């Protein structure tokens, strides 16, 4: 939507910069250098500057970036200028933990629906939401303008849930199940514990990370 397209790798780092900035702001820092951000995010300072240059930012040479302005720039670039509705499907161990997580309450992401298929789970309260039957999901999504779906069901049904989410118009899916989802258009991000552990396991032997 904006002028230039931001490289994928840069997009993935913007949230880290933003978070670092929020901490710095809380500490009362008004001006921040690329070097300072780089240390906090564990990257090269030149990379920070190049990343920020895609936002059309203007730091001041010899001085650095105004931390509050830079924050708003990054938020704009990420589209965090409005609210996003999120649903979680599969309220088991993990789903319930995610639902309880209030770390993005501060952000623009709001959990507006929890869904499960198990009659024993449906109706129970998690946080301040009541778990609803997954059959109500399509209507709810349409009504509440939900844009993001989080899948925390067993792997066996994750694909089915994803398809359903997509049919409801959800274009962004965060998948915690151990499956690679096949979708039409949706953007899927995958978070998988055992994959992460296996990668770590590899580098335990081949240390040179």
Ligand X SMILES: NC(=O)c1ccc[n+]([C@@H]2O[C@H](COP(=O)([O-])OP(=O)(O)OC[C@H]3O[C@@H](n4cnc5c(N)ncnc54)[C@H](O)[C@@H]3O)[C@@H](O)[C@H]2O)c1
Partner DNA sequence: TTCGGATTGTGAATTCGGTCACAATCCCCA
Partner DNA sequence: TGGGGATTGTGACCGAATTCACAATCCGAA
> Which positions lie near ligand X, rule CB under 6 A?
89-95, 97-98, 100-101, 103, 115-118, 121, 134, 152-155, 157, 161, 176-178, 193
In the list 45, 78, 94, 186, the residue contacting DNA (rule: CB under 7 A) is 45
- Residue nearer to ligand X on the CB measure, 17 or 65: 17
Q: How far is the CB of 14 from a second copy (least distance, A)?
A: 7
In the list 17, 20, 59, 170, the residue contacting DNA (rule: CB under 7 A) is 59
In the list 40, 47, 171, 190, the residue contacting DNA (rule: CB under 7 A) is 47
In the list 2, 19, 22, 58, the residue contacting DNA (rule: CB under 7 A) is 58
What 91-95 contacts at long range (C-beta under 8 Å, 24+ apart), as own/partner pairs, is 91/115, 91/116, 91/121, 91/124, 91/126, 91/131, 91/152, 92/116, 92/121, 92/152, 92/153, 94/152, 94/176, 95/150, 95/152, 95/153
Q: How far is the CB of 149 from ligand X (least distance, A)?
A: 11
32 within 8 A of 24, measured Cβ to Cβ: yes
Q: Which DSSP state fits 134?
A: G
């Amino acid at each position: 939507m904006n002028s230039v397209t931001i490289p994928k790798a840069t997009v993935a780092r913007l949230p880290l910069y933003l978070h670092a900035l929020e901490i710095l702001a809380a500490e009362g820092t008004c001006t921040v250098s690329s070097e300072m951000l780089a240390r906090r995010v564990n990257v090269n300072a030149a990379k920070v500057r190049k990343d920020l240059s895609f936002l059309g930012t203007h730091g001041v040479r010899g001085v650095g970036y105004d931390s509050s302005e830079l924050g708003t720039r990054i938020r704009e670039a990420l589209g965090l200028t409005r609210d996003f509705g999120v649903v979680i499907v599969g309220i088991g161990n993990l789903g319930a933990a995610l639902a309880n997580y209030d770390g993005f309450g501060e952000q623009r992401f709001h959990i507006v629906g929890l869904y499960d298929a198990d009659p024993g789970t449906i109706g129970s309260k998690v946080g301040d939401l009541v778990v609803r039957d997954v059959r109500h999901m399509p209507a709810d999504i349409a009504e509440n303008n939900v844009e993001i779906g989080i899948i925390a069901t067993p792997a066996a049904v994750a694909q089915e849930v994803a398809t359903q989410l997509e049919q409801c118009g959800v274009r962004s899916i965060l998948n915690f199940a151990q499956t690679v989802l096949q979708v039409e258009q949706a953007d899927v991000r995958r978070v998988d514990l055992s994959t992460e552990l296996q990668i770590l396991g590899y580098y335990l032997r081949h240390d040179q990370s």
